[in-house]
Amino acid sequence: METTLSAGNRLVGKRVLITGTGGGQGAAAQELFAQEGARVVGCDVVPGAAESAARKLAEQGHDVHGHTVDLADPDEARAWVDAAAASLGGIDVLYNNAAGFAPFADFTVDLWRHVMRVELDIVFHTTHPAWPHLRRSGGAIINTASVSGLRGIGAIGQAAHSAAKGGVIALTRTLAAEGAPDGIRANAISPGFVSSPATDTAMDDDARQYMLNMHLIQRPGTGPDIAALALYLASDESSWVTGQNISVDGGWTAGYR
Ligand SMILES: NC(=O)c1ccc[n+]([C@@H]2O[C@H](COP(=O)([O-])OP(=O)(O)OC[C@H]3O[C@@H](n4cnc5c(N)ncnc54)[C@H](O)[C@@H]3O)[C@@H](O)[C@H]2O)c1
C-alpha cells in the first residue's frame, strides 16, 4: 500500500523555501505543503521546471512560486534565499531537498568534488543566508540525507554520495545544537530507494532489483512517502524534535527479510 495524503491546515501561515521542486520528492512536498496552507517558494536547476510545478499549484489557488537556480553557485543560492525571504516577509521553514546525483564507478578528483558540491555544499549555500531569517522566526530546517549516509552500499559505487550524505546528517545535528538557543530546529530525512526522475532513468532492472532487495517492504518509496514526514517536521507538531535523522526507507536500515 502506498502513502496517501489528505489536505488539512497544518502549515497555515508558514513561509517555506523548498529546493529541487522541479520533480521528485521536492515537487511532492511542495504540493502537500501548499495544500496544508503554506506559502512556498521553490527552485530547481532544470530551466523552467520549478516555475512550471509552481504554476500548476498557483492555478489551483495556492501561494506558490518557482525559480530556476543553480544552488551549486553560492551567489545564486544566496540571491534566491534573499529574494524569497523578501517576498514572503521572512522564512519559517527551509527544506534542503535538492541534490545532484552522478554515477560514481570511475572516480576522479573532479567527480568527487562535483558530488560534494551538488550534495553537501548546496545545503550550506542555502542554509547560511537563511539563518538570520530562521533565527528571527524560530524556524525549522529539513535536510534530505540518505540511507547511503548511514550504511555502506558496495555494489553501485556510492563512496562520494555516502560521504556527502553522512556530512548532511552531521551538519544537521550541529545546526540543531547551534540553533537551539534561537528556537531553530534542524532535522534530516534519510530516504531509502525512492522512485524519482533521476533513479527511474539512471537504473537498469538489475540495479533496481538490487536496491529493492534491501528493503523489508519491497517497493520503491514515493514522493508522498517522504513528504508525509517532511510535513510533520515542518509543522509545530514536531516542536520538541530536533537534531534527528529519521529514515523513511521501507525498513532498509532495520534488518533483512
Ligand atoms: N531517489 C532516491 O532513491 C533517493 C534516496 C535517498 C536520498 N535521496 C535524496 O532525496 C532528495 C530528492 O531527490 P529525488 O529522489 O526527488 O530525485 P530528483 O533528482 O528527482 O530530485 C532532485 C531535484 O533537485 C534538483 N537539483 C539538483 N541539483 C540542483 C542544484 N544544484 N540546484 C537546484 N536544484 C537542483 C534536480 O533538478 C531535481 O529536480 C535528494 O537530496 C536525493 O539525494 C533520493
**N- to C-terminal Cα distance for the chain?**
18
Residues 6 or more apart in contact with residue 174 via CB below 8 angstroms: none
Q: For residues 14 and 89, is the Cβ–Cβ distance under 8 A?
A: no
Instruction: Report how far ligand 1's centroid is from the alpha carbon of 231 (Å).
Output: 18
What is residue 199's predicted lDDT score, i.e. its pLDDT? 81
Q: For residues 27 and 194, is the Cβ–Cβ distance under 8 A?
A: no
Instruction: Report how far ligand 1's centroid is from the alpha carbon of 199 (Å).
Output: 9
Nearest-CA residue for ligand 1 atom 15 is 196
Q: Is 146 in the pocket of ligand 1 (CB under 6 A)?
A: yes
Is residue 44 within a helix (H) or strand (E), and if so which, with residue range? strand 39-44
User: 3-class DSSP state for residue 218?
Assistant: coil
Instruction: Report how far ligand 1's centroid is from the alpha carbon of 100 (Å).
Output: 6
Q: Is 118 in the pocket of ligand 1 (CB under 6 A)?
A: yes
Q: What is the pTM of this model?
A: 0.95
Burial class (CB in 10 A: 0-12, 13-18, 19+), 189: buried
Q: For residues 39 and 16, is the Cβ–Cβ distance under 8 A?
A: yes
Local confidence pLDDT in tens for the 257 residues of the chain: 777 666 689 999 999 999 999 999 999 999 999 999 999 999 999 999 999 999 999 999 999 999 999 999 999 999 999 999 999 999 999 999 999 865 555 678 888 899 999 999 999 999 999 999 999 999 999 999 999 999 988 767 788 899 999 999 999 999 999 999 999 999 999 999 999 877 887 778 888 888 899 999 999 999 999 999 999 999 999 999 999 999 999 999 999 88
What is residue 157's predicted lDDT score, i.e. its pLDDT? 72
What is residue 102's predicted lDDT score, i.e. its pLDDT? 59
What is residue 5's predicted lDDT score, i.e. its pLDDT? 64
Q: For residues 144 and 234, is the Cβ–Cβ distance under 8 A?
A: no
Nearest to 96 by CA among 130, 132, 142, 54: 142
What is residue 113's predicted lDDT score, i.e. its pLDDT? 92
Residues in the chain: 257
Q: Is 42 in the pocket of ligand 1 (CB under 6 A)?
A: no
Q: What's the rounded Cα separation, in Å, for the pair 88 and 75?
A: 20
Nearest to 195 by CA among 46, 50, 3: 3
Q: For residues 158 and 148, is the Cβ–Cβ distance under 8 A?
A: yes
Q: Is 71 in the pocket of ligand 1 (CB under 6 A)?
A: yes
Q: Is 122 in the pocket of ligand 1 (CB under 6 A)?
A: yes
Instruction: Report how far ligand 1's centroid is from the alpha carbon of 111 (Å).
Output: 17
Instruction: Report how far ligand 1's centroid is from the alpha carbon of 154 (Å).
Output: 21
Cβ–Cβ contacts within 10 Å for residue 156, how many?
15
Q: What's the rounded Cα separation, in Å, for the pair 223 and 235?
A: 18
What is residue 36's predicted lDDT score, i.e. its pLDDT? 97
The preferred substitution site among 31, 52, 101 for testing ligand 1, maximizing ligand atoms within 8 Å of CB, is 101
Instruction: Report how far ligand 1's centroid is from the alpha carbon of 8 (Å).
Output: 26
Q: What's the rounded Cα separation, in Å, for the pair 41 and 24?
A: 16
Q: What's the rounded Cα separation, in Å, for the pair 175 and 42?
A: 22
Instruction: Report how far ligand 1's centroid is from the alpha carbon of 120 (Å).
Output: 12
Q: What's the rounded Cα separation, in Å, for the pair 95 and 81?
A: 12
Residue ranges in the chain assigned as alpha helix (H): 24-35, 49-58, 74-88, 109-116, 122-137, 159-179, 197-202, 205-213, 223-234
Nearest-CA residue for ligand 1 atom 23 is 20
Going along the chain from its start, the domains and CATH numbers come out as: 15-246 (3.40.50.720)
Cβ–Cβ contacts within 10 Å for residue 60, how many?
10
Q: What's the rounded Cα separation, in Å, for the pair 215 and 206?
A: 15
Pairing of strands 39-44, 64-68: parallel
Q: Is 254 in the pocket of ligand 1 (CB under 6 A)?
A: no
Radius of gyration, CA atoms only, the chain: 17
What is residue 125's predicted lDDT score, i.e. its pLDDT? 98
Q: Is 99 in the pocket of ligand 1 (CB under 6 A)?
A: yes
Instruction: Report how far ligand 1's centroid is from the alpha carbon of 184 (Å).
Output: 24
Q: Is 132 in the pocket of ligand 1 (CB under 6 A)?
A: no
